[in-house]
Amino acid sequence: MARNPFQQLYVGEKVDPDEFVEIFSHKLVPYAMPLFQPGHVILSGVQGSGKSMLCKLLQPEVRLAYASISEPFPIPKESSRFIGAGINITTARCIEFGNRRAEAGDSTQELMFGDFFNYVVALDIIRSVRTLSADTSISSELGIKLEGERLSRFVHSVAESDVWEGYLKPSVDLGDLERRMWERLARYRRFMNGNDRALDPTVASSKTSAGEPMKILVNAFKSSGVVPSDVEFYVLVDQYEELEKIKSNGADADYRSVVNKVISRDPTLSYRLGTRGHGWRNHLNVFGSHGHLEQDRDYKLIEIDAILRGQEVRTTSVYPDFANDVFLRRLKYSASPGSARAKAGRISDALGRSPSPKDEATQLAGDDPAAVLRIDPSWPAEIAVELRELAKEDPLSAKLGEVWYRQKGTEKDGERPWDDRRKQYWRKERIELALLHIGSIRKQRAIYSGEENILGLSGNNILIFLSLCQHIWDYASQASSRNDRQPELPIAPSIQTIGVIQTARTWLDRIPSDYGRSDDRYKLIQLLGEKFSTALHGDLKMSNPGQNGLSLSIEELRENAEVFRFLVEAVDYGNLVMVEHATRNKDRKRRYKFYLNPLYCPVYRIPYQRSKEPMYVSIDRLKEWLSVAGIIERLEPPTIRRTAKPDAPMPLLEMMSPKH
């Protein structure tokens, strides 16, 4: 099969720097500028939001790759004077702190972790400076001079600093310094791995305070003249949320508070905490103090999901533009010159435009369009004739007419009142559901093809978008009659629909193997998908076309923290979408709407588009559903309220009857 330009999904983490330069989209950079400016930043986003891709710009190797092909670094010049370094909580093995028994009460685990964290980051800062200094264009651009006297002064200044408790004193050159640091980390690893029964005493007696060594290091770089004083140091702490999951045996070690401690108001260097979704909000304690981190005072918050979603609401179209750029870069990366791929200017050049609802209805209705109607036998004959005639030329309008008569009765009120301009919102809210009903009657699946549908199904998530493209491209390659097996562009709607359904099933089926309460989240999606599907397919009047979403009171959610946490986890993992919305209830209480990830909707045969009003449910009802699905512990049956009635004046005796 021909090479699929969308084969590799995880650009941010896996692609090598040279390829990254070719396929990285700059479109999100302007919305994430605090990442490349001094000050601490928390960068949150679900998997696939583009978070890792942005963070990759902090890596020195990526900067080298841009320089090596003389491609401009995609950060504005005034913000590009920085050196990036970092730690990935998972790959640095921080989780292994749970392997050894903690002594209760004396914060030993946090102190060890803080020291380990310091050395990992310090070593990476040195590595970054060394890497960037090896390239003449970058080192001259940033003014890095890692050589001669300056280097000696730097090493001496670092080794002699009290912050290391004498541990680095024997170091005479940079190699020594790095070796000592690496050896210290190896000693921690030996301890955590059980090779050493106790932590090496030289390490145990020289623990450093979280964050302090990095300040010394950066100051030494600058005071020795290795790095100019106007160059910023940015340290990425990736997968911060994993710290919460470190098992602490015998003590309540709080590892996140250690990282929070480094986010101080000291401007020497700036940290970027990369984290999934909302998880970080639960915990903003600072180790060794009673203080808490405060947004805008201690850090800036960049929520990638919100940026994409918010801009969508303001119709400035960040996401479509971003996805289009990603798509074209991938398409052109391995295209031969002059080919259709190389010439493509928009997603639609490869995938076409999505069919209009009217066209889609006509296709779904096939050669017997009147069959899409469910005429009530009690309706006047002329209405039946009118709708059947209309169905021949416009099955969608005919279906909406049927719904209109079901809702409003068959009293004639003008010519096709549902097509009236004044009823455009009534019509708009029911179009997707009408298509769904037409497809269901004709035993056809909805058509998922074209730029608009593929973008809509990807739900502002670039990873899902690429996954959709990957599957569609694979099917199109298989169906291609070309010798090189490259897809014929634009790809046929029927092939795209198959690709979409396959992608949806793949993403749905993979939920249980994801991290977190994955099995419960899978059950939740099944539960909601089936409930929504039943509600929408059974609603012949289409009175509630928005019931592909759930609305819950924020107040009730807060009172039921466990359920709320679970729903938020599903949001953080991209299984659900959560949006605050205005209520239709008289109480005016704030509510959250929850929708399935749009990609799952084709599997449940429900519209992925959202319209008013979602399904309003109480928290008790939701808990009952979750309990039946086995997600939360089975609830006790509700207490039976004993009320005296004329026919049962003694309710206590009534309760003794066998039916209770």
Partner 1 sequence: MNRDYRPWGPLEWLLPKLQGDPWGLLGVLGTEDRCTAALDVMAPQLRASRFLKILDPHLSPIAAFNARFDEIQGRLIAGGTNAADIRTVDLLQDIDTMEEELAAFLETSGPRVVLDITSMPKRWFFPLIRFLLASPAVETLIVTYTSAQFYSEQLSSDPAALGPLPTFDEPRLSERYDELVVGVGFAPLGLKDLFETDPGKIRYLFPFPPGPPNFFRNWHFLRTLESEVENRNLQVEDRWQIHMYDVPSAFEALCRVTRNGERSCALAPFGPKTFSLAMCMFALAANKAGKEPVHVYYTQPRRYALDYTSGIREHAGVPDIKAYCLRIAGRDLYEL
Q: Which residues bind partner 1 (CB under 8 A)?
A: 7-10, 13-14, 90-91, 93, 95-96, 98-102, 185-186, 189-190, 192-195, 239, 242, 245, 247, 249-250, 470, 506, 510, 512-520, 522, 630, 632-634
Whole-number Å distance between alpha carbons of 323 and 336: 22
Q: In the complex with partner 1, which residue's Cβ is closer, 90 or 618?
A: 90
Residue 515 Cβ, how far from partner 1 at the closest point, in Å? 6
Nearer to partner 1, 91 or 534 (CB): 91
Are the beta carbons of 124 and 59 closer than 8 angstroms? no
Which is closer to partner 1, CB of 58 or CB of 631?
A: 631
Compare residues 78 and 633 and give the one whose CB is closer to partner 1: 633
In the complex, least distance from residue 414 CB atom to partner 1, rounded to whole angstroms:
54
Q: Which is nearer to partner 1, 425 or 515 (CB)?
A: 515
Least Å distance, CB 97 to partner 1, is 10
Measured between alpha carbons, how far apart are the two ends of the chain, in Å? 65
Contact 272, 85 (CB under 8 A): no
Smallest separation, CB 123 to partner 1 (Å)? 12
Residue 380's Cα: distance from chain center in Å?
Answer: 52
Reported as type and span, the H/E element at residue 233 is strand 232-238
To partner 1, the closest distance from the beta carbon of 516 in angstroms equals: 6
Q: What is the dihedral of CA 505, 508, 513, 519, to 10 degrees?
A: -140
The smaller minimum CB distance to partner 1, of residues 579 and 629, is found at 629
Q: To the nearest whole angstrom, how small is the minimum distance from the Cβ of residue 621 to partner 1?
A: 20
- Are β-strands 300-303 and 576-581 bridged in parallel, bridged antiparallel, or unpaired? unpaired
Query: With b meaning 16 or more CB within 10 Å and e meaning fewer, what string describes 174-192?
Result: beebbebbeebbebbeebb
Is the Cβ of residue 8 or residue 444 nearer to partner 1 in the bound state?
Answer: 8
Instruction: Find the DSSP H helices in 317-394.
Output: 318-333, 340-343, 347-351, 357-365, 381-393
Cα–Cα distance, 521 to 519 (Å, whole number):
5
- Check residue 91 and report its DSSP letter: T
Q: Is the CB of 361 or the CB of 626 nearer to partner 1? A: 626
Nearer to partner 1, 24 or 31 (CB): 24
**DSSP H or E stretch at residue 35:** none
CA distances, 345 to each of 93, 321, 334, 469 (Å):
44, 12, 15, 16
* Separation of alpha carbons 470 and 596, rounded Å: 22
Measured in degrees and rounded to the nearest 5, phi and psi for residue 401 equal: -65, -45
User: Least distance to partner 1 from the beta carbon of 487, Å?
Assistant: 18
Rg (CA), the chain: 30
- Which CB atom, from 228 or from 630, has the smaller least distance to partner 1? 630
| Least distance CB 451 / partner 1 (angstroms) | 23
CB of 32 to partner 1, least distance (A): 23
Query: For the chain, how many residues are written?
Result: 660
Closer residue to partner 1 in complex, CB, 246/571: 246
We find the least distance from the C-beta atom of residue 15 to partner 1, in angstroms, to be: 9
* Rounded Cα–Cα distance for residues 626 and 570 (Å): 13
Our CB check for partner 1 shows the closer of 139 and 467 to be 467
**Minimum distance of partner 1 from residue 99's CB (angstroms):** 5
Provide, rounded to whole angstroms, the least separation between the CB of residue 446 and partner 1: 24
Under the phi-then-psi rule, with left for phi > 0, alpha for psi from -120 to 50, and beta for the rest, what region is 85?
A: beta
What are the angstrom distances between the C-alpha of 289 and each of 255, 258, 284, 296, 481?
14, 10, 11, 20, 68
CA 87 to chain centre: 21
Say if residues 453 and 40 touch (Cβ distance below 8 Å). Answer: no
**Helix locations, 512-606, DSSP H:** 518-537, 554-559, 561-572, 601-604
Between 166 and 630, CB nearer to partner 1? 630
Please count the other Cβ atoms lying within 10 Å of the Cβ belonging to residue 343: 13
Cα separation of 525 and 62, whole Å? 38
Residue 115 CB, nearest approach to partner 1 (Å):
16
